[in-house]
Amino acid sequence: MNTLLWILLATFVDGILGLIGIFSIWMSDKSLRKLVGILVAFSAGALLSGAFSHLLAESLPRNNVQFIFAIVMIGFVIFFLVERLLHWHHCHDGKCKVHPFTYLIVFGDGIHNFIDGLVIAASFIVSVPFGIVTTLLIIAHEIPQELGNFGILVYGGWSKLKSVTYSFLAQITCVIGGIAGYYLSDVFAGAIDYILPFAAGGFIYIAASDLVPELHKEPKMKKSMLHMGFFVLGIAFMLAVKILFGG
């Protein structure tokens, strides 16, 4: 299977996650809160582990160390600015405040997923195993994020059907990003040197600024320890993927 087919497959699988809100329609609020808490913990660990052991590990041999970390910081800052300017806050407990900027959230999510497509394309251009690893890393944080976005849209006044539809449309922009990344790879051959550390900075920001703080909100020691266990499991999962796939 050639590189483009791998990119299309990976971005399509990622795009399908936009429909994840369908499953929460039949779940009780209590069950949804429990599930999202576990997913947040797992994805926080996976994001940090993947950013350092995969994206940065791949980037460092390709360029100057100071250059790489400068791009990481730029990625971190830009993700911070995007979140502030677009009021792009993730909701992971299933009970979000009524949000007046529902369309803005969808727009911001579409941009984010388009960038994810570019990252996936760049990773598969490096190698298929590395592309698989990067796709798993992106999916790891997309699941709780999409559940959170679904909650924001529903509590922002949208129907569940409309929320699922718009979430899917925003998520499927990942495929467009993947195609663009593939066909622009020849024109911007050095883009990978920027995209990988940029994505690492963004993933570190999401984990440290959005996900980990959510874990601190759990007041009960038993649940907190459960979340810590899944956080460590997320770290171990990405390390295991690196060993198995050689990413």
Task: From 125, 115, 25, select the one nearest 78 (Cα to Cα).
Answer: 115
**Range(s) of the domain holding residue 96:** 30-245
Quick one: CA dihedral 213, 81, 131, 178, positive or negative? positive
Question: Residue 238: enclosing H or E segment and its boundaries?
Answer: helix 221-245
Task: From 243, 77, 116, 102, select the one nearest 165 (Cα to Cα).
Answer: 102
The terminus-to-terminus CA distance of the chain in angstroms comes to: 18
Is 12 part of a structural domain of the chain? Answer: no
pLDDT in tens, 199-247: 888 888 878 887 788 788 888 888 889 889 989 988 888 888 777 765 5
Q: Which residues of the chain have pLDDT under 50?
A: 88-100
Which two tokens mark 156? Answer: 């922002």
Is 7 part of a structural domain of the chain? Answer: no
Residue corresponding to tokens 């329609």: 25
**Residue 230: count of CB within 10 angstroms of its CB:** 21
The count of domains in the chain is: 1
pLDDT in tens, 174-192: 999 999 988 887 765 567 7
Which two tokens mark 10? Answer: 């990976």
The pLDDT of residue 9 is 95
The pLDDT of residue 198 is 86
Cα separation, 228 vs 13, whole angstroms: 28
Asked if residue 44 lies in contact with residue 215, where contact means CB atoms within 8 angstroms, the answer is yes
Task: From 212, 232, 244, 238, select the one nearest 54 (Cα to Cα).
Answer: 238
Cα separation, 220 vs 133, whole angstroms: 34
Is 17 part of a structural domain of the chain? Answer: no
The pLDDT of residue 247 is 53
Is 22 part of a structural domain of the chain? Answer: no
Is 10 part of a structural domain of the chain? Answer: no
Is 95 part of a structural domain of the chain? Answer: yes
What are phi and psi for residue 201, nearest 5 degrees? -60, -40
Is 238 part of a structural domain of the chain? Answer: yes
Predicted structure pTM score: 0.68
Residue corresponding to tokens 């979340």: 227
Is 16 part of a structural domain of the chain? Answer: no
